[in-house]
Amino acid sequence: MAMEHRSSTFEFVTAEKVLSVLSYKLLIDAVERGLGLFSKSKSSSGQDANRSSVDQPVRTTVAVPNKGFLGCMPVYIEADELLVTKLVTFFPKNENVPTHNAVVAVFHANTGVPRAFLDGDTITTRRTAAASVVATKHLANGKPTVLAILGSGTQAASHYEAFCETFSSLKQVRVWNHKPERAKEFANKDERRHNCVACESVEDAVRGADVIVTVTSSSSPVLMAQWVKPGAHINGVGACRPEWAEIDPNLMRSAVVYVDSREGALQESGDVLLSKAEVYAEIGEVVNGTKTAHTDKTTVFKSLGMAVEDAVAAKIVLDELGL
Ligand SMILES: NC(=O)C1=CN([C@@H]2O[C@H](COP(=O)(O)OP(=O)(O)OC[C@H]3O[C@@H](n4cnc5c(N)ncnc54)[C@H](OP(=O)(O)O)[C@@H]3O)[C@@H](O)[C@H]2O)C=CC1
Ligand SMILES: O=C([O-])C1=[NH+]CCC1
């Protein structure tokens, strides 16, 4: 029997609409829960009544030689009936357009019918900062007063906002960029950045800092072990390919290393693979209370980005917009 063609009924949610509803307040809680669900899904035995099922394969990528790559990031979250995939490109040499571009597709989980298409840029930008906030809440040694941000692009801005909104204890945010004038532009952008100072060197930026965020497109280490205060917490956000690194391998080996996905880190993270550092835990295991937060030690959260974070962000947007 021939099937009739149905007309497409899914919504397209613009960047402006996503931005209008995707607050850090909602997102940080949702990402924390998502990270927990992801780690619980793999670690429990099936006997556990609280076991949740999250099916999230490691991102697949196709390269455009000398330019960039396209990453495909699907996930199914049984508890939320969310069937979602993000498609994201990273073209680090882009000059007048963003280096990352993304769309998020949401399907009805019971039929597989498309439900909505969302602009993925704000979702990527904000959920990544939210994941770093979650890791910092669990792993920082006390209330942070000094934050150092290495890099001054899109993620630097979202991390600045999310951290200032979450950690009222912050007194100073130091920013460094490999092109110093861009760090100055970042620090002087507007009145709200009154607590932000531009630093000439990475060493100046990170000396004595309680929390460090690395958000560069560098493929070789920018953050050296000898500059980091013992007990500091580092969110390593860049370097998402197996041959790229942002963090001194000595620092990776001497710190307690947490990741978003163990499987992902062992396939995608040059910081982990090239240093041969031991991965102690997924941050979701800390959220679930099944692994210890070693707050008294120097800790690294190696973030690669996960579809589960995109999916919970998309859910907030659809719920808030009543779609
Ligand atoms: N873990 C996750 O979930 C996610 C990770 N990311 C990663 O975070 C990083 C930052 O992303 P985003 O802010 O969107 O990108 P942007 O392109 O907006 O910013 C990149 C920053 O890195 C700087 N930079 C470029 N080349 C170098 C270099 N060789 N050495 C040091 N700094 C350099 C740029 O400086 P300038 O512009 O002055 O050249 C800029 O400050 C990227 O590595 C990206 O892939 C992004 C999204 C999600
Ligand atoms: O998770 C994500 O979207 C990305 N991680 C690195 C580049 C984009």
Q: Looking at the CA of residue 59, tell me the nearest atom of ligand 2.
A: 1
* Residue 90 in contact with ligand 2 by CB distance below 6 A: yes
The verdict on pTM exceeding 0.80 is yes
> Distance between CA atoms of 158 and 117, rounded to whole angstroms?
23
The two three-digit tokens of residue 301, written as one number: 């959260």
* Residue range(s) occupied by CATH 3.40.50.720 in the chain: 141-306
How does pLDDT run across 261-273, given as a tens digit for each residue? 999 999 999 999 9
Q: How much of the chain exceeds pLDDT 90, in percent?
A: 92
Per-residue confidence (pLDDT) for residue 160, from 0 to 100: 98
Going through the chain in order, the beta strands assigned E by DSSP cover 11-13, 54-55, 60-64, 68-77, 82-90, 100-108, 114-119, 146-150, 172-176, 196-198, 211-214, 233-236, 256-259, 279-282, 299-302
- Residue 6 Cα to ligand 1 middle (Å): 42
Mean pLDDT by 10 residues, the chain (323 residues): 68 96 98 97 60 90 97 97 98 96 97 96 98 98 98 98 98 98 96 94 98 98 98 98 98 98 98 98 98 98 98 98 96
Per-residue confidence (pLDDT) for residue 35, from 0 to 100: 98
Per-residue confidence (pLDDT) for residue 23, from 0 to 100: 98
Per-residue confidence (pLDDT) for residue 4, from 0 to 100: 67
Q: Looking at the CA of residue 307, tell me the nearest atom of ligand 2.
A: 1
DSSP three-state, residue 148: strand
- Residue 28 Cα to ligand 2 middle (Å): 17
Residue among 155, 158, 160, 240 whose CB has most ligand 1 atoms within 8 A, to mutate: 155
Per-residue confidence (pLDDT) for residue 42, from 0 to 100: 72
Q: Does domain 141-306 fall into CATH 3.30.530.20?
A: no
The CATH fold assigned to 11-123+309-321 is: ornithine cyclodeaminase, domain 1 (3.30.1780)
Per-residue confidence (pLDDT) for residue 10, from 0 to 100: 84
How does pLDDT run across 31-62, given as a tens digit for each residue? 999 999 999 997 555 555 556 699 999 999 99
- Residue 13 Cα to ligand 1 middle (Å): 26
For residue 310, give the ligand nearest its CA: 2
* Residue range(s) occupied by CATH 3.30.1780.10 in the chain: 11-123+309-321
- Residue 67 Cα to ligand 1 middle (Å): 15
